[in-house]
Amino acid sequence: MTQIDHPLSHTFPKRIRKAVRREGADRLLLYNLLAFAGSVSVTRLFLQMTGYPQLSINELHIAHVLWGGLLLYIATLVPILYANRWALTFSSIVSGIGIGLFIDEVGKFITQANDYFYPPAAPIIYSLFLVTVFLYNRIRKHEVRDLRTELYRVLDGLEEVLDHDLSEKEKKKLTEQLNIVTGQSASPDVIRLANALKEFAESESLILVPEPPTFWDRAMQKLQEIERRLIGSNRFRVLLSGGILAMAMWSLNYPLMTLYQIYQSREFEKVLIQLIQNRLVRSPLTLGWFEVRLVLELIVGLLLLVAAVFIYMRKNRQALPLANFGLLLSLTTVDLLRFYFDQFSTIVVAIIQLGLLLMLNYYRSRYT
């Protein structure tokens, strides 16, 4: 008697559940970061300039955390409903604005008195921003290039064909990705799919459109032209050295002034009373953090001072690591303490430090 195999008795390949990183995830996360930082900064600036108004009706008070929640909900719905790439860009920007409006009121969530001005709120917000920056940096540097990831991205890239928006550059990229897939060991079905897609991508009848430069491309090109024409290597070096020197002087100013006041007991007593009245020093622990801030600011100031002199003297081998370490230490550690004691005025300082770090990286890649 002939045995008939039941369809379910066959052995099937194990289903793969491993996550695949989306192409362009670093760009989308950058949009989210910028929207997050801009949302918090603009909200705090607007409230301070307008005297912290309240949108209220009788007993109701509509806090901006609610608008943040609404934007987060919209940002969640759009990529669920629509498959277009613009939906992801929209979601990344709107969710960044939403999380900024939401986290800006963190002081109310962690205090029984619903204290919006609770001093630890500022470093908590900055800590969340730093964590997202580290995530962005990791995603940007660690690119995954395996068969499954490449084929996912190829299928995602075919959206440009459907939208009549495929450029020569994007066509070339599709072909390169398909070459990676067909060059690796895979199941016959996957190879057959990849070959069919490659034949389609290399077809002469495929309609291509010119890829216009984006606003960012035009802006960067304009800046590079200005840099080549008006600045050059020597002026850029002097400009970078001067910027780092100014930041060094600013970092040294507060701890040195405070140390001087310690020797003038009455003056230091005024500083301490002011910190206590502003609820910034509440216990020996917070006083200890204040002392840590002074020490770290001194270290950062000295590092940047030496780095600025070395850059001016063209000793790049010694200068660049010192400047990079000093700026990173300030951005990741010292600014956390500054956000506690100086609150949101530290945003301006952090932006300047970030600008100097970008200038330093540009100088390293272009002139050394």
pLDDT at 170: 83
CA distance 191 to 64: 52
SS (H, E, C) 116-174: CCCCCHHHHHHHHHHHHHHHHHHHHHCCCCCHHHHHHHHHHHCHHHHCCCCCHHHHHHH
CA distance 331 to 126: 10
CA distance 245 to 323: 10
Residue for token pair 């990079």: 324
Q: pLDDT tens digits for 164-203?
A: 888 888 888 888 888 888 777 667 888 888 888 888 888 8
Regarding pTM above 0.85, the answer is no
pLDDT at 75: 95
pLDDT at 92: 95
CA distance 127 to 121: 10
Does the CA dihedral 266-271-274-280 come out positive or negative? negative
**Contact (Cβ atoms closer than 8 angstroms) between residue 209 and residue 162:** no
pLDDT at 5: 52
Type of residue numbered 318:
Q
Structure tokens at 1: 């008697």
**Contact (Cβ atoms closer than 8 angstroms) between residue 287 and residue 281:** yes
Neighbours of 363 (CB within 10 A): 21
Residue for token pair 């990849």: 194
CA distance 60 to 256: 49
Radius of gyration for the chain, computed over Cα atoms and rounded to the nearest angstrom:
27
**Contact (Cβ atoms closer than 8 angstroms) between residue 169 and residue 211:** yes
**Contact (Cβ atoms closer than 8 angstroms) between residue 54 and residue 182:** no
User: What is the residue-level pLDDT of the chain in tens, covering all 368 positions?
Assistant: 445 555 555 556 677 778 878 888 888 998 999 999 999 999 888 888 888 777 767 777 778 888 999 999 999 999 999 988 889 999 999 999 999 999 998 888 888 888 888 888 888 999 999 898 888 888 887 777 778 888 888 888 888 888 888 888 888 888 888 888 877 766 788 888 888 888 888 888 778 888 777 777 788 788 778 777 777 778 888 999 999 999 999 999 988 888 877 777 666 667 677 677 666 666 677 777 888 888 999 999 999 999 999 999 988 888 999 999 999 999 988 998 888 888 888 888 999 998 999 889 888 887 77
pLDDT at 300: 94
At residue 103, what are phi and psi to the nearest 5 degrees? -75, -20
CA distance 252 to 302: 8
